[in-house]
Amino acid sequence: MNNTTIAPFAKPLYVMLKPIGAACNLKCTYCYYLDTKNLYKQEHNYKLSDELLEKFIVQYLESQTMALVLFTWHGGEPLLRDISFYKKALALQQRYGRGRQIENSLQTNGTLLTDEWCRFFKENNFLIGISIDGTQRFHDKYRKANNGEPTFGKVIHGIDLLRKHGVEYNIMGVVNNYNVDYPLEFYNFFKQIDSHFIQFAPIVERYPNGDVTEWSVSPEKWGDFLIAIFNEWVKQDIGNYFIQYFDAALANWMKVEPGTCIFAENCGHAGVMEFNGDVYACDHFVSPEYKLGNIREKTLTQMMYSSKQLDFGMDKSKGLSQQCHQCNYKFACNGECPKNRIAVTADGEKINYLCAGYYKFFDHIAPYMDYMKLELDAKRPPANIMCNLDKIKRAL
C-alpha cells in the first residue's frame, strides 16, 4: 500500500456492525435497509456468529490508530440479539483492547427496550440512538410494526426507560413528505423529550422505475424545513441544542472537517459489516458492486484502505457537476451525499435531487454563519449571535 492510498484515511477506520443483518421487528415504509435481505435470501437467519464477532473485534481493534475506539451496533434492529450476545462482545473488547478506551453506540427503533436492557446499557456506558419521526401523528404514519400496528407509544416508553436509568441517548428523525410541512412541531417535539443532540435526515428514494417515491421530501420543502428550524435555533438555542446540519455548516464555514460525511468534500471512511462478514463501502451502498470483500478472506484494514474504497470516497468530489463547481455554496454542500445525486442539470450531468433546497438553505444562513465565523475567529462564542440578530437582519 503506498502513501497516496493512506493519506485520505487520516481519520480512524470506522466500520459499523450489523449483528442481525437487516432483520427488524418494524416495517417502516421508507426503510432503505430492509431490501438488503434480498442479497441474502438463502440465509436462514441473519445472526452474526461468535467466530465472526471475535474476528471483527480483533481486527477492528488492531486497525485503530487512536486511543479511543468506537464500536457501533446497527440494524435492522440490533436489539433482536439478546443481552448475552452483547456481553460476549464486551468481554472480547476487554480481552483484545490492550487497555484502550472503548465506547459503544447502538442505533435502535426503541420498541424493544426494557429495564434489563437499560440497566445493561447504563452499566456499560452505551450511547443509544433512537429513531423517532416527531409527534405521534407523524411517527405513526410510516414507522409501523411488521403487523401494521403503530409504534409511537412503544418508542416513547423506551425513551422513558432510558431516562429512568440515566442512559445517554440521542434522537434521529426522518423527514418525509408528511412531516416536512411542520418543522417547528418536529423541532419542539425533540426539545420536549429532552434531546439536546438532534439529527434528522431527508427521505429521497425511488421506485424501481426510477420515479421518486411519494414519501420522499421535495427539494423546496426540504430547504424551507431547514430554514424554519434554523430561524428558531439561531434565536435562542445555540449552545443548548446541537443540530447536525447547522454544526456541519459552521464547520465548513470555518474550513474545518464537518462531523457528517454528507457535507465533507470526500467520504469513504465509514464502512459496514454484514452478519456474514461481507464488508461494504457505506451503509447506503450495500449492494454487490460496493462489496469490498469478506472478513474471512481479507482484513478490515485491507478492505477499508483498498483502492476500491479510496475511489468510492474520492468519487464524491470527482462526480460533482459543473453547476456544483460554480455554486457559491459548494464549500458548504459539496453536492451532499452521492446517493441523492439522481437529478439531472440542464447540461445532462447528475446533481443532487435536493439541490434547490440546499441552495436556498445555505443562502439563507450565510450572513449568520459569516457572523458566527467572525466571532469564532475573534475567540468569542458564536452564541453571541443570539444578542445581535437585529443587527444582522438590518444589514440584510
- Residues near ligand SF4 (CB under 6 A) are 261-262, 267, 270, 282, 284, 316, 323-324, 327, 329-330, 333, 335, 337-339, 351-352, 355, 358-359
283 counts as catalytic: yes
Closest to ligand SF4 by CB, 53 vs 337, is: 337
In angstroms, the CA 355 to CA 200 distance is: 17
Closest to ligand SF4 by CB, 193 vs 201, is: 201
Give alpha helix (H) positions in the chain: 3-6, 50-63, 83-96, 115-123, 136-142, 152-164, 183-192, 219-236, 244-253, 300-304, 307-318, 322-325, 330-333, 355-377, 389-395
Least distance to ligand SF4, CB of residue 351, Å? 6
Closest to ligand SF4 by CB, 118 vs 229, is: 229
Closest to ligand SF4 by CB, 28 vs 262, is: 262
Least distance to ligand SF4, CB of residue 30, Å? 16
Least distance to ligand SF4, CB of residue 315, Å? 9
As given in the structure block, the three cell numbers for residue 103 are 465506547
Least distance to ligand SF4, CB of residue 341, Å? 8
What residues form DSSP beta bridges with 344? 350
- Is the bond preceding 76 in cis, omega lying within 30 degrees of 0? yes
Least distance to ligand SF4, CB of residue 337, Å? 3
- Sheet of strand 278-280, all strands in order from the earlier edge strand to the far edge: 242-243, 197-202, 168-175, 127-131, 101-108, 68-73, 14-17, 270-273, 278-280, 291-294
Catalytic residue, from 283, 347, 377, 390: name it.
283
Q: Residues 241-249: contacts with CB within 8 Å, 24+ apart?
A: 241/190, 241/191, 241/196, 241/198, 242/196, 242/197, 242/198, 243/198, 243/199, 244/197, 244/198, 244/199, 244/200, 245/200, 246/365, 249/332, 249/362, 249/365, 249/369
Closest to ligand SF4 by CB, 111 vs 352, is: 352
Residue 4 neighbours by CB distance under 10 Å: 9
Rg (CA), the chain: 21
Closest to ligand SF4 by CB, 173 vs 335, is: 335
Least distance to ligand SF4, CB of residue 365, Å? 12
List residues with catalytic annotation: 283
